[in-house]
């Protein structure tokens, strides 16, 4: 039984290595498909979070995107100066800022994403329908993996 558990751990580690390599390589390739004047990765990260989440605090962005609040300050100032987001005071707590993406920010984000989406759609069109379906499933799983935290991994599991 211990040997089986060890083999499963080895398999998971090997899969984790393969997955990290392939995700890293695909991410690198997607970055090369961006135009020269594209937004920085960190700016995309923040705008990408603000886009569907409407208004939120800098702390929420930092926590969700695993960024240090201190490093976020300069980035937010740049996004605001470029007119890609606005900052206002919270009506509930005047000490807290509320961030919101602007129309210019949405347009910049859409333009940047569409460049990469067009390339990726073209690449996807070269694989089989079965592989496309597997990618649909895998994308959902990868979203869940991105949200994983060890503290919550035992939630919902029964005790043995």
CATH 3.90.1150.10 fits 25-148, yes or no: no
Please give the backbone phi and psi of residue 92, each rounded to the nearest 5 degrees, phi first: -85, -35
Give the pLDDT confidence score for residue 22 in this predicted structure: 95
Integer Cα distance of 47 and 84 in angstroms? 8
Give the pLDDT confidence score for residue 159 in this predicted structure: 42
Give the pLDDT confidence score for residue 99 in this predicted structure: 94
pLDDT tens, residue by residue, 82-114: 999 999 887 777 678 899 999 999 999 999 999
pLDDT tens, residue by residue, 47-85: 999 998 778 889 889 888 888 877 888 999 999 999 999
- Name the residue ranges covered by the structural domains of the chain: 25-148
Report yes or no: 84 and 107 within 8 Å, Cβ to Cβ.
no
> Cα 78 to chain center, whole Å?
20
- Residue 72: CB partners within 8 Å, gap ≥ 6? 46, 58, 61, 62
pTM above 0.85, yes or no: no
């Amino acid at each position: 039984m211990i040997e089986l558990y060890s083999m499963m751990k080895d398999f998971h580690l090997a899969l984790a290595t393969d997955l990290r390599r392939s995700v890293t390589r695909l991410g690198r390739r997607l970055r090369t498909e961006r135009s020269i004047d594209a937004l920085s990765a960190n700016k995309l990260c923040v705008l990408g979070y603000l886009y569907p989440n409407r208004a939120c605090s800098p702390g929420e962005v930092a926590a969700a995107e695993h960024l240090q609040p201190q490093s976020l300050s300069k980035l937010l100032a740049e996004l605001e100066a470029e007119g890609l987001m606005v900052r206002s005071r919270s009506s509930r707590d005047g000490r807290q800022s509320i961030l919101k993406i602007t129309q210019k920010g949405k347009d910049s984000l859409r333009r940047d994403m569409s460049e990469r989406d067009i390339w990726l759609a073209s690449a996807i069109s070269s694989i089989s329908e079965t592989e496309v379906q597997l990618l649909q499933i895998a994308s959902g799983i990868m979203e869940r993996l991105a949200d994983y935290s060890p503290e919550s991994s035992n939630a919902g599991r029964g005790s043995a």
